[in-house]
Amino acid sequence: MRYFDHNAGAPLHPEVVEFLAHAYRLEPVGNPSSVHAPGRAARARLDDARERVGKVLGRPAREVTFTSSGSEACAMAVLGLGVRGTLVTSAIEHPAVLLAAERRGRSVVQLRPAGNGRVPEGGFEQALAEPGVTLCALQAANNETGVLQPVTEVVALARKRDLPTFVDAVQAPGRVPPMLDAESAAYSAHKFGGPAGVGMLVVWRGLDFHPLIPGHQEGGRRGGTPSVVLCEAAALALELAERERLRTGTRVGQLRDRLESAILTSIPRARVNGYGAPRLANTSNIQFPGTDGEALLIALDLEGFSVSLGAACASGTMRPSPVLLAMGLSADEARSSLRISLGSATTEADVDGLVDALVRLARSAATTNRG
């Protein structure tokens, strides 16, 4: 199986695999809230993991909260920050953000992207000027198209009005520099070579934050006993992702460009969604006119290639991608699109094999549909 769905979940980094195998062979980890010796040892390990995460993200350790996932971290921010007023966000956010926004009980302004998938900063400037706004939320990079959003510019606009910004940075580690400007940001370990089941939320000290899960753990920001081993694994994966970011990003970007060039040359009607906008180097979202994306995905799966239709959290809904619809694509265009996301282990042979299969299957499907 050749894997092209790294935006849904990246394989565990080999060093993380070794760490987990070693950690789970050791004596049981104590509860970090306990005062006995095993508990104190667990707390020391948890504090060390938090310190390491903070160092990579450029924030004090006390501002880092470990969560069970990136989705939980996003919900914590959307439901815990600026709860007394209006949220300004975009229409292309991850479902974790948009569904949490529905539960705020306050007005939510969703800004539409341009046709290239990038949300104009001018729209934020106008929306943030309206009375009653208390929180701005914007993803660092779209999980379906890879389009990078104007985070730095939007954070600056919000800061002029003393408004905090939350950034869904789940797709960022190992691909773009850490989100140092935003007052709050969410991360998920399994997107950058760590294990599933652990995420991180950074909230700057001094912000008024209302916990989603009450409890004394995590400085009162999230109740529940954290998994010390998973937190340590997340810290290690984050360090590795940042250490390898430049080298991996350049090579993967070249492979992504090779893939797109070959497909566009062989299938003249194909289109890259988000083309022309700055994008993650590993992500390509491509329309194959005259085909059904789901059927094409299944055919590729049978030939040993793993791709996706879009957000893994929304798969199986049978609805066209809301992200692509918000960009102005028709329902048929959205349904004919596939997301292809590469990783550090992707090779030229993998890319060439996928191109050959895609071109053959897409041409066959288009011919069948025309007939």
Task: Specify the CATH number for the domain of residue 191.
Answer: 3.40.640.10
Sequence-separated (6 or more) residues with CB below 8 Å from residue 138: 89, 90, 93, 119, 124, 149, 150, 151, 154, 165, 166, 167, 168
Range of the domain at 313: 2-9+244-370
Rounded Cα distance between 123 and 106, Å, is 20
On whether both 202 and 280 belong to a single domain, the answer is no
Secondary structure class of 188 (helix, strand, coil): strand
Q: Which of 76, 311, 21 is nearest to 202 (CA)?
A: 76
Is the model more confident about 311 or about 354?
A: 354
On whether both 65 and 143 belong to a single domain, the answer is yes
Domain-terminating residue out of 226, 243, 260: 243
Which tens digits make up the pLDDT trace of 166-205? 999 999 999 999 878 899 999 999 999 999 999 999 999 9
Percent over 90 (pLDDT), the chain: 89
Residues with active-site annotation: 313
On whether both 333 and 351 belong to a single domain, the answer is yes
On whether both 251 and 164 belong to a single domain, the answer is no
Which tens digits make up the pLDDT trace of 42-73? 999 999 999 999 999 999 999 999 999 999 99
Q: What is the DSSP string of 200-246?
A: EEEE-TTS-B--SS-SSTGGGTS-S---HHHHHHHHHHHHHHHHTHH
On whether both 236 and 328 belong to a single domain, the answer is no
Reading the block at residue 353, the tokens are 């094999």
Asked whether the beta carbons of 311 and 143 are under 8 A apart, the reply is: yes
Please, which pLDDT band fits residue 317 given cuts at 50, 70 and 90? low
On whether both 224 and 276 belong to a single domain, the answer is no
Domain-terminating residue out of 207, 227, 243: 243
On whether both 90 and 195 belong to a single domain, the answer is yes
Sequence-separated (6 or more) residues with CB below 8 Å from residue 226: 32, 46, 66, 217, 218
| Residue 187 β-bridge partners | 200
CATH of the domain at 320: 3.90.1150.10
User: What residue type is 110 in one-letter code?
Assistant: Q
Confidence check: pLDDT of 133 > 60: yes
Q: What is the DSSP string of 7-62?
A: TT-PPPPHHHHHHHHHHTTSSPPPPTT--SHHHHHHHHHHHHHHHHHHHHHTS-GG
Reading the block at residue 207, the tokens are 């912000």
Asked whether the beta carbons of 191 and 311 are under 8 A apart, the reply is: no
On whether both 196 and 277 belong to a single domain, the answer is no
On whether both 329 and 222 belong to a single domain, the answer is no
Q: Strands (DSSP E) along 60-188, which ranges?
A: 64-67, 86-90, 108-111, 133-139, 165-168, 184-188
Rounded Cα distance between 274 and 279, Å, is 8
Please, which pLDDT band fits residue 366 given cuts at 50, 70 and 90? low
On whether both 217 and 312 belong to a single domain, the answer is no
In this structure, is the dihedral angle defined by the CA atoms of residues 128, 131, 136 and 142, taken in order, positive or negative? negative
On whether both 236 and 249 belong to a single domain, the answer is no
Which tens digits make up the pLDDT trace of 298-313? 999 999 999 999 655 4
Rounded Cα distance between 49 and 174, Å, is 18
Rg (CA), the chain: 21
**For the chain, what is the domain count?**
2
Domain-terminating residue out of 187, 218, 243: 243
On whether both 256 and 209 belong to a single domain, the answer is no
Rounded Cα distance between 284 and 264, Å, is 12
The pLDDT assigned to 119 comes to 97
